[in-house]
Structure 1
Amino acid sequence: MKRRTLLASGGTALAGSMIAGGAAIRSIRRSPGRSVARAENALDRDRIVETLMEGTDRETAAYEVDGSEEGPTAVIIGGVHGNEINGYRVAADVTGWEIDAGRLIVIPFANVVAVERNTRGGPDGDLNRLFPGGREPESDLARAIWRVVEGADPDLVIDLHRSRGLFNTHHRWVGQAIFPTEGGGAIDDAASVIDHVNEHYVPWTMRFHRFTLGNVQDDDRDAGLLVQKVNLDLNVAGFLVESTDFLLDLDTQIRWTGAITELLLDRHGIRRTA
């Protein structure tokens, strides 16, 4: 597809390598303040294309990264849950990337109040339950984010998260999984990326931390998940990426989340250049 112009609303070099299992199996808590500062330092503020919720405590920015050639458009979102540090750290880093083709629209700190508080939810509760399919999002912030997503006319949307446990192992938790949409070839993309990450990033000593294919995000209009709305309203490829902090240090969470992001983009013809 051709690269679109600026937001309609107005506005592969893979990082990292396979790591030793011993270095990864450490459960550590990093200072949220330090993590926010590191994410902020990674931002390329010259690439801001829109300020969402300007003048409020929810004010946050959308960034645009353009490739030298025409190509597809991807939207990348981090910080929907403010205590999921790997997501906003990777998304912030993406704003400084160079890519060969297409464009990226990035919202690194989607739920900035929750990020500052290091909490899952913000003033409106759980932001990732406020995007019902076929209807208006249910808060001002959710509506502002959706306007950017929809206005970008994306070919794919990547929503970066972190869970507490392991999918199909721990009750309630969904870590180490990619949840694809039904449309846009997302299922095949997710399966291919999972195979690559498990082979090249997750050490054989950490077999319980291998990524798996999560439930397909299809037709639940009332779930309120952003990726569900991407499937129902836009019918394009969407990916809910869930790393885990179960016996996994933050640096490894970031490394694996970043690798998945690069690989998903690569599958759609957007390659990060050195």
Structure 2
Amino acid sequence: MKRRAVLAAGATVAGSVMAGATLGATAGGDPGPRQPSPAAETTIETGALRPGTRRETPYFEVGSGDDGPTAVVVGGVHGNEVSGYRAAERIAEWQVTDGSVVVVPWANVVAVRRNEREGPDGDLNRQFSIGGEPETPLARSLWELVAAADPDVVVDLHRSRGIYGTHGRWVGQALFPTAAGDATSDADAVADRVNEAAVPASMWAHRFRRGNTLRGTSPMLIHKVSADLDTAGVLVELTEFYLDVDTQVRWTELIAERLLSRHGIERRGSAL
């Protein structure tokens, strides 16, 4: 299978785990990594970014067992954006009908454990130099995994304090597509679908919209996906403004589900 061959050759593979394996993540209601719990019949392959260092963090490949499209989903680039990495943890539990999803739930795991935006090396999402090598070992390791996956789509999950177009510089409730592929039309269609299916009419201020197109003008992960890979990608931003964390997580997961569906990766037991 193309995807598994690429990952085995190009990334640091730590083996594979079956449902119920212990990954050493924390449990309970506090911020911090939580162990994914895949369905009993699901096998997920796992590897690690920056193995043997304090920045070591696992990634998971959820596969259908059949050839098909590939997505990369990233959470925890900013360690205090809980809804992004909680949704990514849930995506690592999915079963998919075609292709595969490579999930990095806690990209900046030190920052996630500290519940802080930045890790020891600063803001991870400002370290992806366009047209060159990322600036830090962690950013380079994450980028190598993304490139090795040869993805059809990359989805980066974040959370903002306010609402895009309403609260100044804050960018919540918006989907920011790359210039590549059909990412712009995907963002429009998914925003409309989630608004219709999940956002109550009484919460009109929280309706999703498409943000500006990301063309490679900033050293951010999705900008680099756009410019250097010429690949469809979407930066997903939820808001914490009058929105509880459980709802943020649920809506983030729904958005990811619909984005991947538009690339031919269907979740079994879809929530929409």
Bin the TM-score by the shorter chain.
0.7 to 0.9
Query: Equivalent residue for 1:104?
Result: 101
1:43 deviates by: 6.7
Distance 1:135 1:33, change over 3 A: farther
Match status 1:51 vs 2:48: yes
CA contact (8 A) 1:43 1:92 kept: no
CA contact (8 A) 2:31 2:113 kept: no
1:41 deviates by: 4.7
The equivalent position to 2:262 in structure 1, one of 245, 267, 272, is 267
CA distance in 2, matches of 1:129, 1:35: 23
The equivalent position to 2:173 in structure 1, one of 176, 192, 205, is 176
Distance 1:126 1:253, change over 3 A: same
CA distance in 1, matches of 2:122, 2:49: 18
CA distance in 1, matches of 2:245, 2:207: 16
1:49 deviates by: 3.0
Q: Equivalent residue of 1:161, what SS?
A: strand
The equivalences for 1:215-230 within 5 A come to 215-220=212-217, 223-230=218-225
Match status 1:206 vs 2:207: no
Deviations 1:70-115 (A, max 9, x none): 2101000000000111111111111111100001111101000000
Query: Equivalent residue for 1:21?
Result: none
Q: CA RMSD in A?
A: 1.9
CA contact (8 A) 1:3 1:103 kept: no
Query: Equivalent residue for 1:246?
Result: 241
Identity %: 51
The equivalent position to 2:73 in structure 1, one of 69, 72, 76, is 76
Query: Equivalent residue for 2:111?
Result: 114
CA distance in 2, matches of 1:68, 1:55: 30
1:125 deviates by: 0.7
Q: Equivalent residue of 2:199, what SS?
A: coil
Query: Equivalent residue for 2:10?
Result: 9
Report 1 or 2 for greater relative contact order, CA contacts < 8 Å, sequence distance ≥ 6.
1
The equivalent position to 2:163 in structure 1, one of 161, 166, 174, is 166
Match status 1:235 vs 2:235: no
Give the number of aligned pairs.
251
Deviates further, 60-69 or 182-191: 60-69
1:55 deviates by: 1.4
1:34 deviates by: 2.3
Q: Calculate the TM-score normalised by the size of structure 2.
A: 0.88
Unaligned runs of 5+ in 2: 14-26
Query: Equivalent residue for 1:257?
Result: 252
* One-letter identity of the residue aligned with 2:119: G
1:47 deviates by: 2.5
1:257 deviates by: 0.3
Deviations 1:106-150 (A, max 9, x none): 110100000000000000111000001101001010000000000
* One-letter identity of the residue aligned with 2:243: L
Deviates further, 194-203 or 47-56: 47-56
CA distance in 2, matches of 1:150, 1:173: 29
1:36 deviates by: 2.5
Q: Equivalent residue of 2:236, what SS?
A: strand
Q: Calculate the TM-score normalised by the size of structure 1.
A: 0.87
CA distance in 1, matches of 2:153, 2:124: 20
* One-letter identity of the residue aligned with 2:32: V
CA distance in 1, matches of 2:259, 2:159: 17
